[in-house]
Amino acid sequence: MRNFKVKIAYDGSCYHGFQRQENAVTVQEKIEDALFGLFGEKITIDGCSRTDKGVHAREFYFSFKTQSPITLRGIVFGLNPKLPDDISVLSAEEVPLDFHARFDAKGKEYEYIIHNSEIKNPFYKNTALKYWVPIDEKKLDMAAKSFIGEHDFKSFCSTACDKQITVRTIFDARVVREGDLVKFYVSGNGFLYNMVRIMVGTLLFINEGKIPCDGIEDIIKSKDRAKAGKTVAPQGLYLNRVFY
């Protein structure tokens, strides 16, 4: 038996997230179908994360086991023609049999992109959040620093979150501007359901004056979802990096 770790990227616009579902098209389904076409055997893959409907990934990993003698190049160039154009295999490596793409991940970095302009851009329809109110990125960058550290992020997860332990460690959080694009970067050892999208929604509430600039610490302490900002739309969210 051999175990492989595969790096992919995908545009999540047409998918209901990564994880296979009964009545919706997902990234996992497309990859497992491609693996069956390549190997002629039913293979179940383990993904590094569960992304929501419409969320994208610049770097995503999955692992799978097979007895096939296939080469690493064979995996990359064998899978890519069998996958839709919005999913790409970037690389593959053989790993120890006990490696698991999800459980061995030490952390992740997410990016959320906001198109901050009064004029719509058709190329950002599925790749960024449209937000016309002028953003003070320096103020939001300062506010985002309150996310850094080990905290109970119960206020920043969906009420549908099924995690009993909601403590997470955030390594870094920052907001930068690149022309009309405002980007929020956050990295940590783990994230709760909708956590990044609620973080961004809270920062936008700060931008609008609905939450004080120094209000994030109090929201964290409250452990009350109602105190935080809205859950922003998924299309601006990217899984940027996975740390092993």
Instruction: Identify the band that residue 8 occupies on the pLDDT scale cut at 50, 70 and 90.
Output: very high
52 is catalytic: yes
Q: Which fold has domain 2-95?
A: Alpha-Beta Plaits (3.30.70)
> Where are the chain's structural domains?
2-95, 107-243
Is the pLDDT at 96 greater than 90, yes or no?
A: yes
Task: Indicate the SS3 state at residue 148.
Answer: coil
The candidate with the shortest Cα–Cα distance to 58, out of 243, 238, 181, is: 238
Q: How far is CA 146 from the centre of its chain?
A: 21
Is the pLDDT at 170 greater than 90, yes or no?
A: yes
Same fold, 2-95 and 107-243: yes
Structure confidence by residue, pLDDT tens digits, 122-144: 999 999 999 999 999 999 999 99
SS3 content of the chain, % helix, strand, coil (to 5): 30, 30, 40
Is the pLDDT at 58 greater than 90, yes or no?
A: yes
**Cα–Cα dist 238/185, whole Å:** 10
Q: Which residue has the higher pLDDT, 199 or 159?
A: 199
Burial class of residue 186 (count of CB atoms within 10 Å of its CB; 0-12, 13-18, 19+): buried
Q: Which fold has domain 107-243?
A: Alpha-Beta Plaits (3.30.70)
Residue 151 has what pLDDT?
98
- pTM of the entire structure? 0.95
Structure confidence by residue, pLDDT tens digits, 67-95: 999 999 999 999 999 999 999 999 999 99
**Cα–Cα dist 149/146, whole Å:** 8
The candidate with the shortest Cα–Cα distance to 129, out of 229, 213, 55, 216, is: 55
pLDDT over 70 percentage in the chain: 99
Residue 163 has what pLDDT?
77
The active-site residue, picked from 52, 136, 162, 180, is: 52
Is the pLDDT at 161 greater than 80, yes or no?
A: no
